[in-house]
Structure 1
């Protein structure tokens, strides 16, 4: 269609141009009518800049397998398309969204290169300012995103250090006690060797010692008695020892109960040795039991340390391929373990996992970052006003998420409140659902639509960067072709991550 400079000049984008400039615009561009349907598609090369003269346009983005509408308008002069053409090859020149029209719609269409040339020629200062704003915002977002990751790493490191310190300290204490017990055992063995014990008596003691060690090992796998049951057993053992002339039986009785020994075992010991050596034999076996218990404690502590190190490697995905098929439950468990120190004792964590779910193709290290952000926000929400929370028959604890609710924003949680964090997995059609639910005060409706915006936060200054949910959104939506949304009410806020069960047709990694 013919391009009328006067009509083009009536559009607010061009109303300050001179007649000569409007003439050049008309010469470089064209007026085109599009029937109802698509005009361009997200991801295609951005070849044209569109300004609507009359009609209705709809802009939308692809989120997972869905087209999500982001804008619908009939306002004259609205524009879309190759809006970053003036930046040249410094950024990918593709359409960042899709556009369709609902009925016959008339556009002024300008080739991308012509749009770039006019910007540079007619508005050189504006072009430089826009360029600076564009790359400055990118750099700022990248720098703050890196800071967000470093803050999370520092928090995780502190939590991991705390978690490692407990078993390490237990192992050190047990080792010192073990050295003392072994020394006493050597001394007792020397006394036995010098005493009036026959070879048969010593052989019998050694046999009883071996049976005792086996019994201690079996007892470690059995459920521990209740405090009342343990007290009753200690009294029973102490009475037996007193009745058989063993001095200070009340001292060794608790150790024997801890090891799972009872009066039947004592009767077997008494039947294996002469009455005059029973006290010495019980003392020697007492050192044996203490030694076994201490070695078990050292084994449990070092195993705990090894488990924590494995969890840290799983969280960081060290020595793993960036993209692979993963079990999301392993990722969730490693993240919860790494954050356990930050979650705190006041937050009850409940896991509602569907273990029948298949593994999914993903970038596991980046999904762990999403889990970290959502769990961290959930804990912050609970700490800033959570209630005791919903009870769950599951009982193994779990957690959910939080976004920017009233008084909280992205990142920077703390475990000062009391509530419940529930982490749930389920199948949702052809996608896998990971849901984080918390019992915090909820996200106010007036800010709910902005929580995924970059730099938006309702936390106090210095407590949040406003990028936690923005980063999570980009990882889930842009990189995994999934979706991330929130449902919130006081006492029940849920962040839901939906991931495709299969890899997209193209394996090319999108820009982040």
Structure 2
């Protein structure tokens, strides 16, 4: 690796130093050291004393921070003149400074390094007013960010957890109800079996009854889903059969048999197996067996739903996953929809037009989920509880395309160019920070090298995200 020698002319090619006077450049040249690092080297470690200010001369680096015990990559850069390390050197007189992030060499690279303590003293002499302004801005930003950021995180967590717990409550409550009913049905089966046994039923006849039971139970899993009208007709048909064979309270049993997929012909098979004498007890015992199977299927479906919701929450949060990975964008979109189910509400119709043949893309999955959350949340808010949310995926050349579309009133042309500006919001005061679209743009454009654009007219607003298929 070779870079030109450090001279005034060379330093002025770097945006940090281009406006410095000759004597200032001479001070930098006197105190600067050029350092070379091979690819893969950990140059700076988060939390260590911030002793040096680094300026990138060549190569590529990445900055990371530890969040919850996991390494989070903040940025990658190969921009000549990019700086890192003791970036708050001007705060040196307020106490010992420590590196706020770790820096790793992605490729072989060269840094120009300056001693932070000496640079801070000289910087204060060169730019006293700027130093005071930077100190005030930094302290103000840090304090307000601590207060506002904490509040925003709590609000976001509260909204997401409320939606998730609401979704979890439904299948959990269904499983509890089905379990209680199942306990009653099993007790009823034991009672009916005892009654059959008291009638001295022949062993061969009991075996036939058990065979019929097993055959009918197997049919439950493959029973077709009937329309409400067809279900009612089936219940009428079975009820008439039970009444014709003098089985009391047959209408209660008819609903069970119809839900299990049985017909009057199925009951004729039972009659042929056990005879008219035992048909009443046999039908009731079979009803308990079939209802037990239906309840177990309901419990299985409920617990699967709970498991799917937990899986969606883990995918959304990217728990136990690498920050940068090859992903299927549909996984993040689906998990985001699950997490926002409570906010989307029943009045919004969600339409998925997914191209499942799309290849995986290299991405920061957790950050993309933040983009999907911001865009979907804005779309739902724009529709005010009623409309159609369409999420479409496809491919444009060597880019994966994700389109989020809503039927809200649209974005007025006069402010369309400003919606990605920090702190610009069309929501009433207190309902938004104005940072969602700015954050989304930075994640898509700066972090992933993609594109984010919007088209809007009344009744049709479309945000289009384009993500590169290659690193």
- For Structure 1 versus Structure 2, the TM-score category normalised by the shorter chain is 0.7 to 0.9
What pairs up with 1:241-390 in 2 under 5 angstroms?
241-383=242-384
Distance 1:473 1:116 in 2: 34
- Structure 1 consecutive aligned stretches of length 4 or more whose deviation exceeds 6 Å: 81-87, 89-92, 115-119
CA distances 1:402-456 after superposition (whole Å, capped 9, x unpaired)? xxxxxxxxxxxxxxx2101111112122221111111111112232222222222
What pairs up with 1:98-497 in 2 under 5 angstroms?
120-121=124-125, 124-134=128-138, 136-137=140-141, 140=144, 144-145=148-149, 147-219=151-223, 222=224, 224-383=225-384, 417-497=385-465
Distance 2:213 2:206 in 1: 10
What SS does the corresponding residue of 2:320 show, helix, strand or coil?
coil
Alpha-carbon distance change, 236 to 191 in structure 1, aligned in 2, over 3 angstroms: same
Alpha-carbon distance change, 89 to 356 in structure 1, aligned in 2, over 3 angstroms: farther
What SS does the corresponding residue of 2:418 show, helix, strand or coil?
coil
Distance 1:157 1:139 in 2: 27
Shift of 1:460: 1.9
Distance 2:440 2:140 in 1: 21
What SS does the corresponding residue of 1:47 show, helix, strand or coil?
coil
Shift of 1:227: 1.3
In structure 1, runs of 5+ residues without a counterpart are 1-29, 33-38, 52-80, 93-114, 384-416, 504-512
Alpha-carbon distance change, 468 to 163 in structure 1, aligned in 2, over 3 angstroms: same
May I ask how many residue pairs the two structures share in their alignment? 378
What SS does the corresponding residue of 1:356 show, helix, strand or coil?
coil
In structure 2, runs of 5+ residues without a counterpart are 1-7, 22-80, 92-98, 101-118
Is the 8 Å Cα contact of residues 49 and 82 (structure 1) preserved in structure 2? no
Distance 2:437 2:315 in 1: 22
CA distances 1:191-242 after superposition (whole Å, capped 9, x unpaired)? 11111311122111111111111111221xx3x1111111111111111111
Shift of 1:175: 0.5
CA distances 1:38-83 after superposition (whole Å, capped 9, x unpaired)? x96xxx66331399xxxxxxxxxxxxxxxxxxxxxxxxxxxxx999
| Residue matched to 1:65 | none
Shift of 1:189: 1.0
Distance 1:447 1:229 in 2: 54
Q: TM-score, normalised by structure 2?
A: 0.74
Shift of 1:342: 1.0
Is the 8 Å Cα contact of residues 148 and 468 (structure 1) preserved in structure 2? no
What SS does the corresponding residue of 2:277 show, helix, strand or coil?
helix
Alpha-carbon distance change, 315 to 82 in structure 1, aligned in 2, over 3 angstroms: closer
Distance 2:184 2:277 in 1: 27
Q: What is the RMSD computed on CA atoms of the aligned residues? A: 3.0
Distance 2:356 2:344 in 1: 24
Distance 1:86 1:169 in 2: 54
Is the 8 Å Cα contact of residues 90 and 120 (structure 2) preserved in structure 1? no
CA distances 1:454-511 after superposition (whole Å, capped 9, x unpaired)? 22222222211121112212211221121222212111111111111111xxxxxxxx
Q: 1:49 aligns with which of 19, 25, 33?
A: 19
What SS does the corresponding residue of 1:275 show, helix, strand or coil?
coil
Shift of 1:349: 0.7
Distance 2:262 2:427 in 1: 56
Shift of 1:131: 3.5
CA distances 1:109-144 after superposition (whole Å, capped 9, x unpaired)? xxxxxx999974475245302442256346645764
Is the 8 Å Cα contact of residues 189 and 288 (structure 2) preserved in structure 1? yes
Q: TM-score, normalised by structure 1?
A: 0.68
Of 199-208 and 315-324, the range deviating more from structure 2: 199-208
Shift of 1:273: 0.8
Alpha-carbon distance change, 452 to 276 in structure 1, aligned in 2, over 3 angstroms: same
Is the 8 Å Cα contact of residues 90 and 123 (structure 2) preserved in structure 1? no
Is the 8 Å Cα contact of residues 144 and 465 (structure 1) preserved in structure 2? no
Shift of 1:146: 5.6
Distance 1:124 1:246 in 2: 99
